[in-house]
Amino acid sequence: MKKIVINMSYGNFCLSHQAFLRLRELGQQEALTEMDLGAYWPEAATPNEPSLNQCGKLIPRDDLKLVQVVEELGRAANGHSAELQVVSIPDEVRWEISVVGGKEHVSEVHRTWGTSTGVGMRPQATL
């Protein structure tokens, strides 16, 4: 089974600074290239500081290290206004992340024509 991280909150997908630092420890490529704003204000990089807890937005949602960190840290991995959840799907499924009513879900990729079939759905990522 493939595991994918989604955001079940109405906010944007993002990680806490703690989760971001753990990904860097694990050598996750996108985390290593992202600027660490918390390094400049380490005492302010607490879970209650929204500006320093919006990390990892460019990390692929099926990244094994991302899944590992979200499973390890649980709620502590949640960035500002995020509620992260790991979803398991069959390995062979072509998937995408869609947003309905502000919350994300994983859907199997399929073809859609016309506007009435896709009302309220906005694809976020396709793999």
**Ranges of H-type helices in 1-122:** 17-25, 29-33, 64-73
Query: pLDDT category, 87, cuts 50, 70, 90?
Result: very high
Residues present in the chain in total: 127
| Entry pTM | 0.83
Closest CA relative to residue 61, chosen from 126, 4, 2, 127: 4
pLDDT computed for residue 47 by the predictor: 67
Please give the average per-residue pLDDT across 55-74, as a whole number.
97
Compute the mean pLDDT over every residue in the chain, rounded to the nearest whole number.
86
- Going from the C-alpha of 51 to that of each of 65, 68, 82, 110, the distances in angstroms are 23, 24, 13, 37
Q: Which of the two residues, 39 and 13, has the higher pLDDT score?
A: 13
Please give the average per-residue pLDDT across 103-115, as a whole number.
80
pLDDT computed for residue 119 by the predictor: 47
- Going from the C-alpha of 7 to that of each of 15, 99, 114, the distances in angstroms are 10, 9, 27
What is the domain extent for residue 62?
2-126
- Looking at the structure of the chain, the number of domains it has is 1
pLDDT computed for residue 117 by the predictor: 46
pLDDT at 91 over 80: yes
The CA distance from 92 to 121, in Å, is 23
pLDDT at 75 over 50: yes
